């Protein structure tokens, strides 16, 4: 691999960024570091702005996402380079240490935050190289979205106009630099509120309708018929999960209420609807079949929210074509196109009308205390980012 970036500098940058806490909604410090790094690369402050995504986020938060618009030194379609800046709570307090070709957290109780500081550092290292070596490049937009880990908030709420209407888009949030994530599943979140009727559990249980009994009957029904966990019906595939149940008030009271949080995923929007329908039916039937002596039955209410829509990029999408070429140019290997069963910022970007490829910069085992950064892969990710920022292989 020919290297163009300053590898020592890139590794020390990613190490520095991983040590900065930045839970979803608390991204001020990390974004300040990003702005500092960009200023160091002589990006003028006037090119940077923050959107107001946090004011519309269900989680609130300290700051909006950072958007940086750079004019091209040559003409060409605008390119977007993006990486989310927030980390999951288990990264808090991480002290990155290098051992050989790996970086881990010194404290075995914390994750590293390579998800996604590796992506952020890859973009920043590419921009630093671009500026210091005065390489030609088309118009570029850098986008550092907030609150990815709690539901892809920054990418959901961004507007393409604020991004300068880019035509190609690349998102760093993965492992191996030669793997391109070009398809991802879609998901719904479902909150079911069950209302029963309270009564004394010992004296007059027959006056009550147990919300907990309704919830368990519905869940048992879904489980028995194969609608929980991995769902395979004919050629259709999906998953579902009941994540939490809350309910009841006391041991001696027939439970008057219960809340069930569930999620449903499938690459097929239609099959996702089918699963949701089946969930509703099970809860409605369970409610109808639980009555007290007076004939009163339980009630159920659903709040369903699209977390993110699935997508599948075409191999001829300009972003895919460019990413495949960049991987080949940098690693000498053919890119592997991957489909993932989780949500990415790319789900929302693609939904907004901008097909977005997600690439890797060395992160592995995210969200766990085993999280690790592979330095070679990270540096490969930096080179691919530089190649994509230039719009062609930089002169060596
Ligand atoms: Zn991530």
Helix or strand holding residue 373 (H, E): strand 372-374
Q: Are 355 and 317 in contact (CB under 8 A)?
A: yes
Per-residue pLDDT of 45-82, as tens digits, reads: 999 999 999 999 999 999 999 999 999 999 999 999 99
Task: State how many domains the chain has.
Answer: 2
Expressed in angstroms and rounded, the spacing between residue 314 Cα and the centre of ligand 1 is 23
Expressed in angstroms and rounded, the spacing between residue 356 Cα and the centre of ligand 1 is 15
CATH code of residue 148: 3.40.630.10
Expressed in angstroms and rounded, the spacing between residue 127 Cα and the centre of ligand 1 is 21
Expressed in angstroms and rounded, the spacing between residue 262 Cα and the centre of ligand 1 is 22
Q: Are 270 and 350 found together in one domain?
A: no
Backbone angles phi, psi at 345, to 5 degrees: -55, -30
Expressed in angstroms and rounded, the spacing between residue 84 Cα and the centre of ligand 1 is 7
Mean pLDDT of 30-47: 97
Residue 366's nearest CA partner among 175, 205, 235 is: 175
Expressed in angstroms and rounded, the spacing between residue 82 Cα and the centre of ligand 1 is 11
Expressed in angstroms and rounded, the spacing between residue 67 Cα and the centre of ligand 1 is 18
Q: Is residue 176 part of a domain?
A: yes
Expressed in angstroms and rounded, the spacing between residue 334 Cα and the centre of ligand 1 is 24
Distance separating alpha carbons of residues 125 and 386, to the nearest angstrom: 8
Q: Are 70 and 177 found together in one domain?
A: yes
Exposure string for 295-318, b = 16+ CB within 10 A, e = fewer: eebbbbeeeeeebbbbbebeeebe
Distance separating alpha carbons of residues 109 and 68, to the nearest angstrom: 35
DSSP annotation string for 125-179: HHHHHHHHTT-----EEEEE-S--TTTSHHHHH--TTTTT--SEEEEE--S-TTE
Q: Are 361 and 288 found together in one domain?
A: no
Task: Provide, rounded to the nearest whole percent, the portion of the chain with pLDDT above 70.
Answer: 98
Q: Is residue 215 part of a domain?
A: yes
Q: Are 317 and 223 found together in one domain?
A: no
Expressed in angstroms and rounded, the spacing between residue 200 Cα and the centre of ligand 1 is 49
Of 277, 293, 308, the one marking the end of a domain is 308
Q: Is residue 2 part of a domain?
A: no
Q: Does residue 143 register a pLDDT over 90?
A: yes
Q: Are 164 and 37 found together in one domain?
A: yes
Expressed in angstroms and rounded, the spacing between residue 148 Cα and the centre of ligand 1 is 7
Q: Does residue 131 register a pLDDT over 90?
A: yes
- Give the number of other CB atoms < 10 A from CB of residue 50: 15
Q: Is residue 1 part of a domain?
A: no
Q: Does residue 44 register a pLDDT over 90?
A: yes
Per-residue pLDDT of 276-326, as tens digits, reads: 999 999 999 999 999 999 999 999 999 999 999 999 999 999 999 999 999
Q: Residues 374, 69, 149, 335: what is their CA dihedral angle, to the nearest 10 degrees? A: -40
Helix or strand holding residue 372 (H, E): strand 372-374
Q: Are 206 and 194 found together in one domain?
A: yes
Q: Are 164 and 139 found together in one domain?
A: yes
Expressed in angstroms and rounded, the spacing between residue 254 Cα and the centre of ligand 1 is 43
Q: Are 296 and 333 found together in one domain?
A: no
Distance separating alpha carbons of residues 318 and 100, to the nearest angstrom: 37
pLDDT at 396: 55
Mean pLDDT of 169-178: 97
Expressed in angstroms and rounded, the spacing between residue 214 Cα and the centre of ligand 1 is 37
Expressed in angstroms and rounded, the spacing between residue 171 Cα and the centre of ligand 1 is 10
Of 256, 290, 308, the one marking the end of a domain is 308
Angle, vertex CA 369, rays to CA 345 and CA 310, nearest 5: 20
Angle, vertex CA 125, rays to CA 106 and CA 375, nearest 5: 40
Confidence bin at 124 (pLDDT 50/70/90): very high
Expressed in angstroms and rounded, the spacing between residue 281 Cα and the centre of ligand 1 is 35
Q: Is residue 164 part of a domain?
A: yes
Range of the domain at 381: 7-185+310-390
CB-count burial class (<10 Å; 0-12, 13-18, 19+) for 294: exposed
Q: Is residue 57 part of a domain?
A: yes
Distance separating alpha carbons of residues 88 and 24, to the nearest angstrom: 7
Q: Are 142 and 263 found together in one domain?
A: no
Exposure string for 27-40, b = 16+ CB within 10 A, e = fewer: beebbebbbebbee
Distance separating alpha carbons of residues 5 and 154, to the nearest angstrom: 29
Q: Does residue 1 register a pLDDT over 70?
A: no
pLDDT at 80: 98
Per-residue pLDDT of 77-119, as tens digits, reads: 999 999 999 999 999 999 999 999 999 999 889 999 999 999 9
Task: Provide, rounded to the nearest whole percent, the portion of the chain with pLDDT above 90.
Answer: 95
pLDDT at 391: 87
Task: Reduce the DSSP state of residue 195 to 3 states and report it.
Answer: strand
Q: Is residue 395 part of a domain?
A: no
Per-residue pLDDT of 336-387, as tens digits, reads: 999 999 899 999 999 999 999 999 999 999 999 999 999 999 999 999 999 9
Q: Are 282 and 381 found together in one domain?
A: no
Q: Does residue 175 register a pLDDT over 90?
A: yes
Q: Which two tokens stand for residue 140?
A: 């570029």
Left if phi > 0, otherwise alpha if psi is -120 to 50, otherwise beta: which for 234?
left
Of 308, 328, 363, the one marking the end of a domain is 308
Q: Are 167 and 234 in contact (CB under 8 A)?
A: no
Expressed in angstroms and rounded, the spacing between residue 173 Cα and the centre of ligand 1 is 5
Q: Is residue 64 part of a domain?
A: yes
Per-residue pLDDT of 196-235, as tens digits, reads: 999 999 999 999 999 999 999 999 999 999 999 999 999 9
Angle, vertex CA 145, rays to CA 143 and CA 149, nearest 5: 145
Distance separating alpha carbons of residues 391 and 139, to the nearest angstrom: 10
Expressed in angstroms and rounded, the spacing between residue 184 Cα and the centre of ligand 1 is 14
DSSP letter for 308, please: E
Residue partners of 311: CB distance under 8 A and separation at least 6: 183, 184, 186, 346, 347, 350, 351, 355
The predicted model scores a pTM of 0.89
Q: Are 137 and 23 found together in one domain?
A: yes
Expressed in angstroms and rounded, the spacing between residue 119 Cα and the centre of ligand 1 is 9
Q: Are 300 and 327 found together in one domain?
A: no
Expressed in angstroms and rounded, the spacing between residue 342 Cα and the centre of ligand 1 is 10
Expressed in angstroms and rounded, the spacing between residue 146 Cα and the centre of ligand 1 is 11
Mean pLDDT of 120-143: 96
Q: Which two tokens stand for residue 230?
A: 């991995």
pLDDT at 3: 78
Q: Which two tokens stand for residue 324?
A: 């495949």
Q: Does residue 393 register a pLDDT over 80?
A: no
Expressed in angstroms and rounded, the spacing between residue 64 Cα and the centre of ligand 1 is 17
Expressed in angstroms and rounded, the spacing between residue 14 Cα and the centre of ligand 1 is 15
Largest CA distance in the chain: 85
Distance separating alpha carbons of residues 112 and 351, to the nearest angstrom: 30
């Amino acid at each position: 691999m020919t290297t163009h970036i300053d590898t020592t500098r890139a590794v020390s940058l990613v190490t520095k960024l991983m040590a900065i806490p930045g839970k979803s909604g608390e991204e001020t410090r990390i974004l300040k570091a990003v702005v500092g790094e960009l200023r160091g690369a002589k990006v003028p402050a006037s090119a940077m702005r923050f959107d107001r995504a946090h004011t519309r986020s269900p989680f609130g938060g300290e700051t909006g996402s950072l958007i940086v618009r750079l004019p091209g030194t040559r003409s060409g379609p605008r390119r977007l380079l993006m990486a989310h800046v927030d980390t999951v709570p288990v990264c808090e307090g991480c002290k990155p240490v290098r051992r050989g070709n790996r970086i881990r957290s010194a404290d075995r109780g914390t994750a590293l935050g390579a998800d996604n500081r590796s992506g952020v550092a890859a973009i920043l290292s590419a921009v630093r190289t671009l500026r210091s070596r005065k390489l030609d490049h088309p118009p570029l937009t850098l986008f550092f979205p907030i609150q990815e880990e709690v539901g892809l908030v920054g990418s959901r709420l961004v507007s393409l106009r604020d991004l300068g209407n880019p035509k190609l888009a690349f998102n760093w949030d993965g492992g191996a630099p030669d793997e391109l994530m070009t398809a991802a599943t879609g998901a719904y979140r479902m909150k079911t509120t069950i209302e029963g009727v309270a009564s004394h559990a010992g004296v007059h249980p027959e006056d009550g309708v147990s919300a907990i009994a309704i919830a368990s009957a519905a869940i048992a029904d879904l489980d028995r018929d194969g609608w929980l966990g991995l769902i395979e019906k004919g050629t259709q595939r999906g998953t579902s999960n009941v994540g939490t149940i809350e309910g009841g008030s006391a041991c001696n009271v027939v439970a008057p209420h219960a809340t069930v949080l569930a999620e449903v995923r499938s690459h097929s929007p239609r099959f996702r609807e089918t699963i949701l329908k089946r969930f509703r039916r099970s809860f409605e039937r369970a409610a109808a079949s639980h009555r007290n002596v007076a004939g009163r039955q339980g009630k159920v209410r659903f709040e369903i929210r699209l977390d993110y829509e699935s997508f599948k990029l075409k191999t001829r999408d300009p972003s895919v074509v460019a990413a495949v070429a960049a991987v080949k140019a940098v690693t000498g290997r053919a890119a592997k196109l991957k489909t993932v069963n989780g949500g990415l910022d790319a789900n929302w970007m693609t939904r907004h009308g901008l097909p977005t490829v997600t690439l890797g910069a060395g992160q592995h085992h995210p969200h766990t205390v085993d999280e690790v950064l592979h330095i070679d892969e990270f540096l490969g990710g930096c080179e691919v980012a530089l190649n994509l920022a230039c719009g062609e292989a930089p002169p060596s």
